[in-house]
Amino acid sequence: SLVLGIETSCDDTGAAVLDLNGNILGESLHSQKEVHLKTGGIIPTVAQQLHREHIERVVNEALALSGVSPQQLSAVATTVKPGLALSLGIGLEFSRRFVTQHRKPFIPIHHMEAHALTARMTEQVEFPFLVLLISGGHALLAVARGVDDFLLLGQSLDEAPGDAMDKVARRLSLTKHPLCSPLSGGQALELLAQSGDRTSFSFTTPMGQSLDCNFSFAGLRNQVSLVIEKKEEEEGVAPGSLLSCVNDLAASVQHTVACHLAKRTHRAVVSGGVASNQYIRKALSLITEREGLRLLCPPPKLCTDNGIMIQSVCINPLTDIVLSLLHVDPVLFLRAPLGSDLTAEVRA
Ligand code: ATP
Ligand code: FE
């Protein structure tokens, strides 16, 4: 069976063709990152327009590279939530036309469940496993009990780690920094942190007293903002033009984020854009090593949004059954095989 996956939930237009063993036959990805970096954030209407301009080419490229014709596909799997409504709409509209035209079954995909299952695309992972999802929009800790069965243990009470790091980076004008120019805020922080001293600033690790599995990043961001303001005043520079201690700040922020995540995580499979951060991976590996557990992190390329991860739910013998059932009424928009706690919580 061959599945075409389509992802347009945020600012990446992604498509890929995979078989049910997770082999990638062809993939294509168009990133809008550079456009959004210029405007200092994602403007939904701009994202929508860029998805509209690129989706057909991206899908055709994935099909062409895989040497698979639309007729040979068993199904089309597309992200339906969560994400920016305008962005999701383009992928959905395209998929609806595609499956209608080629009479193929449609598999609705939950974006966070796809992130959660991405580790299974490169490693043999048995259920149940604990999954830490740290991305631009979420921090989630969940037990993955099966492809369609997640138990949510904790989530961010305010903002996501990627979002918080992007905002800190923007506040420091890092994305305009010559060394960091095509990088996301989180990537820029990681790069500069390499030559910074993490002990030069001491931030309080969030939620030190709390025994649950939730996360918080807004308070940390606030601490960082106050420190930046103070430094700017001390050095008499305009907001966003600190130069001297930027690397130290980046290292200290990254360290505090890593401590917060590591403290709440004992056995993890990590995914989501922030999971491509090597320092955070290292911090988590210290915890898992001490506990004698295995830490799995998908390759960075699979961590951020892409068309490949969208089929991670399809690597399951069960999917064969789902797919063959679907063939009975190919153009049926069936409800997601994803009635999970994670889904319910994320939706709420
Ligand atoms: P969600 O999946 O919650 O909808 P998203 O899809 O926008 O969010 P991803 O594409 O998974 O998020 O990841 C993007 C985020 O990851 C950005 O906030 C970016 O700054 C962050 N990120 C990417 N690389 C790194 C890195 N090396 N270190 C820290 N953060 C990073
Ligand atoms: Fe994502």
197-221: pLDDT as tens digits: 999 999 999 998 887 788 999 999 9
Ligand nearest to the CA of 11: 1
Which is the closest atom of ligand 1 to the Cα of 82?
4
pLDDT above 70: residue 112: yes
For the record, the structure tokens of 206 come out as 């969030």
Please give the mean pLDDT across all residues of the chain: 82
pLDDT above 90: residue 224: yes
- Give the distance (Å) from ligand 1 centre to CA of residue 67: 31
**Atom 7 of ligand 1: nearest residue by CA position:** 136
Nearest to 206 by CA among 271, 153, 266, 139: 139
Q: How far apart, in whole angstroms, are the C-alpha atoms of residue 339 and residue 153?
A: 17
ipTM above 0.95, yes or no: yes
Find the range with the poorest average confidence among 35-39, 138-142, 147-151, 152-156: 147-151
**Atom 16 of ligand 1: nearest residue by CA position:** 273
Which is the closest atom of ligand 1 to the Cα of 11?
7
pLDDT above 70: residue 146: yes
Query: What is the rounded average pLDDT of the residues 20-49?
Result: 90
Which residue ranges have their beta carbon within 6 Å of ligand 1?
Answer: 9-10, 83, 111, 115, 135-138, 162-163, 165-166, 184-187, 190, 272-274, 276-277, 304-305
What is the percent of the chain where pLDDT is above 90?
46
Listed in sequence order, the residues at least 6 apart from 206 whose beta carbon sits closer than 8 Å to its beta carbon are 215, 216, 217, 219, 220, 256, 260
pLDDT of residue 271: 58
pLDDT of residue 329: 25
pLDDT above 50: residue 323: no
Query: What is the rounded average pLDDT of the residues 151-158?
Result: 87
State which of 11, 165, 257, 306 you would mutate to test the pocket of ligand 1, scoring each by most atoms of that ligand within 8 A of its C-beta: 165
